[in-house]
């Protein structure tokens, strides 16, 4: 699986987690940290032009994580 494909898969998992939480389901984020770390290591070892090409996907991944954290905080604080 390419770096691009791995990033897309992680973004999709975040999207599914947010959608599930909107329906009251607890997301299964098992192995997410390891997969994210593996992606980051792969980007770190990639040629510079390939690593730079990942920048928009990484921004999308970070945005997805931010949204998930916000959702979790709202649930924790009883605002959902």
Q: What is the pLDDT of residues 36-75, one digit of tens each?
A: 999 999 999 999 999 999 999 999 999 999 999 998 888 8
Residue 29 lies in a domain: no
Q: Are 80 and 71 in contact (CB under 8 A)?
A: yes
Residue 25 lies in a domain: no
Residue 15 lies in a domain: no
Residue 59 lies in a domain: yes
The pTM assigned to this predicted structure is 0.88
Say which residue the tokens 């999308």 belong to: 60
Residue 75 lies in a domain: yes
Residue 8 lies in a domain: no
Q: What share of the chain is helix, strand, coil (3-state, %, to 5)?
A: 80, 0, 20
User: How many structural domains are present in the chain?
Assistant: 1
**What is the C-alpha R_g of the chain?**
14
Domain that holds residue 64: 55-80
Residue 74 lies in a domain: yes
């Amino acid at each position: 699986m390419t770096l691009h494909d791995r990033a897309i898969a992680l973004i999709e998992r975040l999207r599914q987690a947010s959608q599930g939480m909107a329906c009251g389901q607890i997301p299964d984020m098992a192995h997410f940290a390891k997969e994210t770390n593996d992606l980051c290591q792969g980007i770190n070892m990639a040629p510079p032009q390939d690593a730079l090409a990942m920048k928009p996907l990484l921004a999308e991944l970070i945005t997805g994580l931010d949204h998930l954290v916000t959702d979790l905080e709202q649930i924790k604080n009883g605002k959902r």
